[in-house]
């Protein structure tokens, strides 16, 4: 049968669950144990001084509220802090009322408790292993060889390669790679680590997502081995932190990372970070950290241009041993423009559809799949794609179509591209004209009227339009 203090605490937890997220509840309330109830005072046991301070700083109002709800207006909360004494004295407790912080000292030696142990604990391995071997956590698929370079990523890629050649010895320390999701930040970060390990096998390179770093720090606090945690990270030669923007608002995590960062930087160890935004746009990060982020180089990744998108798809298809028709690759590249991740996702979906349903991998299947894959509900192709199809049909370059030449065949192809752009996209006449060599909206209207008239009077021209419509139309 449960004791009264256990029932009271369970009731408190039911309310707390509704007021904090699941991860916070698991981290900060699951380890708490109720140990006694005397009169109107509920005593809960917490595993460390830091744990107590965190609860007091972030949840004291909530704790007081739930305790008074269960025990009445006179209800009070008291902490029992369990400290593992490394000097051989048995664990003991220090009773502390809520909102009455003070330093906890070892009563046997009258000095603050130190948490250093006999050996550095590796937060990446199971406790008990004899040697703390650092696993790099690097994905071999994310190499420089598999990274497609283009104008959109050349700076970041070049800086990353320079760092990989001379880790800690270039002015790119730290190297911060930033950009929106899906542009290849993580790939490039892994590639740097892989190249460093290839050239310097003796170096300790470590890739760790920022959330994992935070969770390890929390575990270290709970297990009273924060010094081991810090010492472990200070041993690393190349530290790669992914998604550093997730440190936002986590003051104590930022504080410990600050000390790790300083140690590594001062000892000429390489630091590589990724973020979804530039340092100047990071919110909730302490100024002292932001200033250090700016010490080295912040290189951005942009959305891939058409040529890079085609190259990415070709490389992916080749790596998978797939012979992909050129028009299918170009169709995907013209249709998916946002980021590399969606581009590769569209290719995988298309290959799966062709393989599982035993369908021919052709442009018709690509149109069906891309229409479903692209989140935009409107069936719309881009002006660029229309121009590409028209130019391929008439065997001319896009640069020629966009030029100022008045040659009849070029003017006609340009007018057809304008006509289909007006029919199949939501772009304004001005936008269509701009894409077709900087023409104005009146020129686009004239082109559309000309195409309609020729369709009524010229059988050969009408055949051109019908053929092109089949190639362009998504329906």
pLDDT of residue 49: 66
Structure tokens at 176: 């911060």
Q: Find out whether 266 and 285 touch, Cβ atoms under 8 Å.
A: no
* 475 residues of the chain, pLDDT tens digit each: 678 888 899 999 988 888 887 777 887 888 888 988 888 888 888 876 667 777 877 788 888 889 888 888 888 888 887 654 333 333 444 455 555 444 333 333 232 322 233 445 666 654 443 344 467 889 888 989 888 888 888 889 999 999 999 998 888 889 999 988 888 899 999 999 999 999 998 888 999 999 889 988 998 888 888 888 888 888 889 999 999 988 988 889 999 999 899 999 888 999 999 998 888 888 888 888 888 888 888 888 888 888 888 888 888 887 777 778 888 888 888 878 777 887 888 888 787 777 777 777 788 888 777 766 664 434 456 788 888 889 888 888 888 998 888 899 999 999 999 999 888 877 788 889 888 888 888 899 999 999 998 988 888 898 889 889 888 864 3
pLDDT of residue 130: 39
Q: Which residue has the tokens 């071997």?
A: 133
Q: What are all long-range contacts of 94-98, with beta carbons under 8 Å and residues at least 24 apart? A: 95/43, 96/52, 98/56, 98/60, 98/63, 98/64
Domains 154-300 and 383-472 share a fold: no
0.75 surpassed by pTM: no
pLDDT of residue 134: 61
**Burial status of residue 314 (CB atoms within 10 A of its CB: 0-12, 13-18, 19 or more):** middle
Q: Give the domain ranges of the chain.
A: 4-107, 154-300, 321-373, 383-472
The architecture of the domain spanning 383-472 is Orthogonal Bundle (1.10)
3-class state of residue 356 by DSSP: helix
CATH class of 4-107: alpha beta
Residue 415 CA to residue 411 CA, distance in Å, equals 6
Q: Find out whether 68 and 11 touch, Cβ atoms under 8 Å.
A: no
The end-to-end CA distance of the chain, in Å, is 69
Q: Find out whether 95 and 80 touch, Cβ atoms under 8 Å.
A: yes
Structure tokens at 218: 């929390």
CATH class of 154-300: alpha beta
pLDDT of residue 241: 94
pLDDT of residue 190: 95
CB-CB neighbours of 192 under 10 Å:
28
Give residue 444's region: left, alpha or beta (phi > 0; psi -120 to 50): alpha
Closest CA to 368 of 332, 419, 320, 324: 332
Closest CA to 221 of 250, 262, 248, 264: 250
């Amino acid at each position: 049968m449960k004791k009264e203090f256990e029932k009271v605490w369970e009731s408190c937890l039911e309310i707390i669950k509704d007021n904090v997220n699941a991860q916070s509840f698991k981290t900060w309330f699951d380890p708490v144990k109720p140990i006694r109830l005397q009169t109107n005072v509920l005593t809960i046991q917490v595993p460390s001084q830091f744990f107590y301070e965190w609860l007091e700083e972030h949840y004291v109002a909530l704790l007081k509220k739930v305790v008074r709800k269960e025990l009445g207006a006179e209800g009070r909360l008291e902490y029992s802090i369990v400290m593992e004494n490394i000097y051989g004295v048995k664990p003991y407790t220090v009773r502390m009322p809520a909102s009455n912080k003070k330093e906890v000292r070892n009563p046997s030696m009258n000095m603050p408790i130190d948490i250093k142990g006999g050996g550095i604990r590796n937060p990446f391995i199971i406790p008990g292993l004899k040697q703390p071997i650092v696993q790099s956590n690097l994905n071999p698929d994310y190499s420089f060889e598999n990274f497609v370079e283009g104008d959109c990523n050349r700076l970041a890629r070049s800086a990353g390669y320079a760092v990989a050649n001379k880790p800690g010895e270039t002015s790119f320390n730290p190297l911060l790679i930033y950009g929106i999701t899906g542009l290849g930040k993580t790939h490039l970060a892994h590639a740097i680590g892989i190249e460093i390990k290839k050239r310097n096998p003796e170096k300790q390179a470590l890739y760790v997502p920022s959330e994992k770093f935070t969770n390890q720090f929390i575990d270290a606090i709970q297990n009273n081995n924060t010094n081991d945690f810090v010492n472990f990270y200070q041993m690393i030669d190349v530290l790669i932190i992914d998604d550093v923007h997730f440190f936002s608002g986590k003051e104590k995590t930022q504080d410990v990372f600050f000390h790790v960062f300083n140690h590594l930087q001062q000892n000429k160890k390489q630091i590589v970070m990724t973020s979804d935004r530039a340092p100047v746009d990071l919110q909730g990060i302490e100024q002292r950290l932001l200033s250090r982020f700016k010490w080295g180089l912040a290189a951005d990744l942009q959305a891939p241009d058409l040529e890079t998108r085609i190259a990415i798809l070709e490389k992916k298809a080749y790596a998978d041993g797939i012979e992909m028709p050129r028009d299918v690759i170009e169709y995907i590249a013209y249709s998916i423009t946002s980021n590399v991740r969606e581009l590769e996702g569209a290719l995988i979906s298309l290959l799966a559809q062709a393989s599982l349903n035993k369908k021919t991998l052709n442009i018709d299947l690509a149109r069906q799949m891309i229409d479903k894959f692209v989140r935009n509900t409107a069936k719309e192709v881009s002006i660029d794609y229309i121009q590409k199809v028209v130019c391929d049909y008439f065997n001319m370059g896009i640069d020629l179509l966009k030029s100022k030449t008045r040659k009849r065949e070029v003017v006609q192809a340009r007018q057809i591209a304008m006509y289909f752009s007006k029919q199949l996209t939501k772009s304004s006449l001005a936008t269509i004209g701009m894409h077709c060599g900087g023409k104005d909206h009146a020129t686009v209207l004239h082109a559309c009227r000309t195409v309609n008239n020729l369709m009524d009077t010229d059988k050969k021209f009408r055949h051109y339009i019908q053929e092109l419509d089949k190639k362009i139309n998504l329906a």
